[in-house]
């Protein structure tokens, strides 16, 4: 089977304008919808509901959550509400699978903040598994987690795939392999992206994400460019190469999704590039190399043996997450943040002593950018 | 995948006019209840629902 090539879509003027010719041509095999991002907008038009249902009824609609905050050390009322909303969405639409992101949200309030990674230890594993089980129990379809673009250190990068595999095991879950996230990590830690791909449990990859991003100059390390996963540009040529590489190695791959934010599709030229990127993806997928892995479709269904008890929580980890979020969101500069981290979080599993300076600088930028959620972003 | 002409036509009108939100619309929380719409005759004052720039989700946004 050839994987379905689809678009990450939502109620956005420019994004839909860019997607329309592709939808009209019948070339879009599948849609991905971030069902929890319309919290500010109570109304969705009938035609969009019908569009989602059209894909859903053919098993070509997948749901991609943003705000669950999988690794928050306390199970909050917001997470309960998120699960209730997920349940409603799964009643209204037939999703082939539901996915979320790795990390915990820095924001004190829901829909504010950005996800950051966590130490890969028994406590975080238990919390993540617990939250995934709750997702799985609600949606009754395969659930998966996307690899994170951010990492504190090269050690985090090398252990991410193994941790993801353990994380999804109790729900028989799968992984989204975001190739631009891999590209970011490869660039930011001077690693080979193909070797990084090989470190993931590729038999568990059911979906691939493709996007572009941007470069940011480091102030503390002049001359260094940090790759950010901002989804605001076309795909770099290296991503197409990584797609060819990954599709041959992922036997369970079912969906390949192009992601780009609407605000970056403001001109005809930009929208044309988006359409060209999609056509390029299709060409690669429909013309596999000489040795593609035979497609096998594991059901990735959770089974009936998932027991839910009291939510797993950890007070010490929660305090650390709050410390970290407050430091990153409020630090005046890199040195300020570094000093506070050394005082408050030295000799913990966070291993702040090993964080790369340019990645701490990036974490500050991300946390401060998303401190007030979408409301503070340019429209 | 083939999409019905009526959906594509509605989408075309929406993106052309900038009116992403229609007059008769189910609420996001109510789409599990087919048929629930806003009162008929309500004027359409919404001029699109552009999602703001960026997305925090992937951790490097």
Answer yes or no: is pLDDT of B47 > 80: no
Question: Which token pair is A148?
Answer: 């994170």
User: What's chain A's average pLDDT?
Assistant: 93
Answer yes or no: is pLDDT of A377 > 60: no
The answer to whether B60 faces chain A, any CB pair under 8 Å, is yes
Which of A30, A49, A184 has the CB atom closest to B60's CB atom?
Answer: A184
pLDDT on residue A296? 77
pLDDT on residue B40? 34
Answer yes or no: is pLDDT of B42 > 50: no
User: Strand pairing of A97-101 and A143-146?
Assistant: parallel
Range name among A193-197, A233-237, B41-45 with the lowest pLDDT average: B41-45
Residues of chain A found within 8 Å of residue B27, distances taken between Cβ atoms: 42-44
What are A145's strand-pairing partners?
A100, A175
Rg (CA), chain A: 20
pLDDT on residue A298? 82
The answer to whether B15 faces chain A, any CB pair under 8 Å, is yes
- Mapping DSSP to helix (H, G, I), strand (E, B) and coil, where does residue A114 land? coil
- Mapping DSSP to helix (H, G, I), strand (E, B) and coil, where does residue A75 land? coil
Which of B7, B15, B25 has the CB atom closest to A43's CB atom?
Answer: B25
- The burial class, CB within 10 Å (0-12 / 13-18 / 19+), for A184 is buried
Confidence of residue B55 (pLDDT cuts 50, 70, 90): low
Question: Which token pair is A28?
Answer: 């879009």
* Beta carbons of A43 and B28 less than 8 Å apart: yes
Instruction: Give the pLDDT confidence of A298-349 residue by residue, as tens digits.
Output: 889 887 777 888 999 999 999 999 999 999 999 999 999 999 999 999 999 9
C-alpha A346: how far from its chain's center? Answer: 28
pLDDT on residue A228? 93
The whole-number average pLDDT for the span A95-113 is: 86
- Mapping DSSP to helix (H, G, I), strand (E, B) and coil, where does residue B7 land? helix
CA distance B5 to chain A (A): 9
Residues 6+ apart with CB under 8 A from A225: A187, A215, A216, A217, A218
How far CA A241 is from CA of A69, A180, A283, in Å, comes to 32, 11, 12
* Beta carbons of A92 and B59 less than 8 Å apart: no
- The burial class, CB within 10 Å (0-12 / 13-18 / 19+), for A154 is middle
CA dihedral A164, A167, A170, A175 (to 10 degrees): -30
The whole-number average pLDDT for the span B7-15 is: 93
Residues 6+ apart with CB under 8 A from A58: B1
Question: Which token pair is B8?
Answer: 């594509």
Instruction: Give the pLDDT confidence of A125-160 residue by residue, as tens digits.
Output: 999 999 999 999 999 999 999 999 999 999 999 999
Answer yes or no: is pLDDT of B39 > 70: no
Nearest to B58 by CA among A144, A173, A366, A45: A366
- Mapping DSSP to helix (H, G, I), strand (E, B) and coil, where does residue B61 land? coil
The whole-number average pLDDT for the span A14-33 is: 97
pLDDT on residue A379? 44
CA distance A32 to chain B (A): 14
What one-character-per-residue DSSP string does A347-373 give?
TSTT-GGG--HHHHHHHHHHHHHSTTG
C-alpha A28/C-alpha A71 separation (Å) is 33
* Beta carbons of A377 and B52 less than 8 Å apart: yes
Instruction: State the count of interchain CB pairs (< 8 A) between A and B.
Output: 194
What one-character-per-residue DSSP string does A202-250 give?
GGGEEEEEE---EEEE-SSSTT-EEEE----S---HHHHHHHHHHHTT-
Question: Which token pair is A286?
Answer: 């429909």
pTM: 0.90
User: What's chain B's average pLDDT?
Assistant: 56
C-alpha A324/C-alpha B33 separation (Å) is 42
Answer yes or no: is pLDDT of B59 > 80: no
- How large is the ipTM? 0.88
Instruction: Give the pLDDT confidence of A32-56 residue by residue, as tens digits.
Output: 999 998 766 667 889 999 999 999 9
What are A7's strand-pairing partners?
A31, A258
């Amino acid at each position: 089977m050839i994987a379905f090539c689809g678009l990450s879509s939502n109620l956005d003027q420019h994004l839909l304008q860019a997607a329309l010719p592709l939808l009209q041509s019948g070339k879009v095999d599948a849609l991905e919808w971030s069902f929890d991002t319309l919290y500010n907008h109570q109304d969705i038009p009938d035609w969009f509901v019908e569009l989602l249902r059209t894909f859903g009824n053919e098993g070509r609609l997948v749901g991609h959550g943003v705000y669950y905050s999988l690794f928050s050390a306390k199970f909050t009322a917001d997470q309960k509400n998120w699960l209730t909303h997920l349940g409603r969405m799964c009643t209204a639409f037939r999703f082939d699978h539901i996915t979320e992101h790795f990390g915990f949200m820095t924001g004190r309030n829901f829909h504010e903040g950005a996800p950051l990674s966590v130490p890969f230890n028994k406590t975080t594993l238990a919390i993540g598994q617990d939250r995934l089980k709750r997702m799985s129990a609600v949606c009754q379809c395969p659930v998966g987690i996307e690899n994170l673009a951010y990492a504190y250190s090269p050690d985090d990068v090398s252990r991410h795939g193994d941790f993801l595999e353990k994380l999804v095991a109790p729900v028989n879950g799968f992984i989204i392999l975001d190739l631009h996230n891999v590209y970011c990590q490869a660039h930011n830690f001077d690693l080979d992206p193909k070797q990084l791909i090989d470190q993931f449990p590729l038999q568990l990859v059911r979906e691939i994400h493709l996007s572009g991003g941007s470069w940011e100059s480091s102030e503390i390390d002049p001359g260094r460019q940090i790759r950010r996963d901002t989804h605001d540009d076309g795909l770099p040529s290296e991503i197409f190469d990584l797609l060819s590489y990954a599709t041959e190695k992922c036997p369970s791959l079912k969906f390949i999704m192009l992601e780009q934010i609407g605000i970056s599709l403001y001109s005809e030229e930009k929208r044309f590039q988006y359409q060209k990127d999609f056509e390029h993806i299709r060409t690669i997928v429909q013309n596999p190399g000489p040795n593609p892995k035979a497609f096998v479709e594991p059901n990735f269904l959770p089974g009936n043996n998932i027991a839910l008890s009291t939510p797993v929580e950890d007070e010490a980890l929660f305090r650390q997450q709050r410390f970290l979020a407050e430091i990153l969101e409020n630090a005046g500069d890199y040195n300020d943040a570094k000093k506070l981290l050394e005082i408050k979080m030295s000799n913990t599993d966070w291993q702040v002593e090993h964080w790369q300076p340019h990645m701490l600088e990036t974490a500050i930028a991300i946390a401060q950018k998303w401190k007030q959620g979408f409301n503070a972003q340019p429209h | 995948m083939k999409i019905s002409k009526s959906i594509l036509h509605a989408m075309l009108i929406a993106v052309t006019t900038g009116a992403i939100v229609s007059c008769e619309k189910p609420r996001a929380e109510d789409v599990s209840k087919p048929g629930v719409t806003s009162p008929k005759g309500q004027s359409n004052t919404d001029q699109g629902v552009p999602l703001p720039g960026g997305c925090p989700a992937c951790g490097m946004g």
